[in-house]
Structure 1
């Protein structure tokens, strides 16, 4: 009988489990949402919430603390864009939405996503000012330069 087992084992040893969690959490940070099984989503939900709380603190401290759990690209995005989104919120940064059963093995598939979506800022188009009166002339240039001496010689030979 196994006693005092903390967390989900997911039929993996410690190294495999930490690699799986690191990949899932990094994908969530980089892609804003992931589709996975319900057991895996429940296993990383608490971990990712703790990481967001750590990322809201000092930047240098957060980089060191997040280094074990996320990839370098995910750390930068977490500190720069994800953590500032949740400044006012005290917890519950992620949500799990059930999508149905997977066809192959009938496993419950869910989508794990952030509760607050990223705001997409669209670039504003800058209109160019046109001046009246002055029009640019198109300069037509030959595609190939022809030497006059050689062209006369060629035409006279024919």
Structure 2
């Protein structure tokens, strides 16, 4: 168990602080994000991430450990089924804290702490994708002049066909005007 923090605690006694953080963690897992003070969010982050790490293990001992902290079985079930599956590939950093403006009543600094539910892509995969994209961009660049020549020929043929069509229309118009003059 981690050493209690020195100095003033969030709720007075260490037991009250631990219970408050467990309740905040339960609300975080239920609603996927909560708005609280920056201090509580910073203290909540390791508690919530430890619970998610236990949920990723998925065994009975881990479930009992989390049930010792969160008494609501439906939230624990959601944590072990949906949240743990979402975080399976992520090695850590399951939560994100975003600071927002101060609270109107007492001007306390507020923050939103939320679960990071976006799919995880490791840096190596990102680098490989970037290299593949660069290679793919370079390969069509080599082929583009060939395609450009083909594309250049096609409009020339189309222009010739269009010119013939314009001449045929002009001839048809002349014939119709001559026929109208004869009448």
For residues 35-65 of structure 1, the C-alpha deviation after alignment (integer angstroms, 9 at most, x for no partner) is 0000000001011111111111133222111
The CA distance in 2 between the partners of 1:23 and 1:5, in whole Å, is: 18
- Give the Å deviation of 1:21: 1.0
* RMSD, matched Cα: 1.9
Cα contact 1:59–1:79 (8 A) shared by 2: no
Which structure has the bigger radius of gyration? 2
Counterpart of 1:21 in structure 2 is: 21
Q: By percentage of residues, which structure has more helix? A: 2
Higher RCO (C-alpha 8 Å, min separation 6) = 1
Runs of 4+ in 1 over 3 A off after TM superposition: none
The CA distance in 2 between the partners of 1:9 and 1:38, in whole Å, is: 14
**1:1-158 pair list within 5 angstroms:** 6=5, 9-70=9-70, 71-117=72-118
For residues 56-87 of structure 1, the C-alpha deviation after alignment (integer angstroms, 9 at most, x for no partner) is 11332221110122232221110011011011
| SS class of match (1:95) | strand
Q: TM-score, normalised by structure 2?
A: 0.58
The CA distance in 1 between the partners of 2:20 and 2:11, in whole Å, is: 12
- Give the Å deviation of 1:15: 2.3
How many equivalent residue pairs?
115
The CA distance in 2 between the partners of 1:73 and 1:14, in whole Å, is: 26
Counterpart of 1:135 in structure 2 is: none
Which ranges of structure 2 fall in alignment gaps of 5 or more residues?
A: 120-183
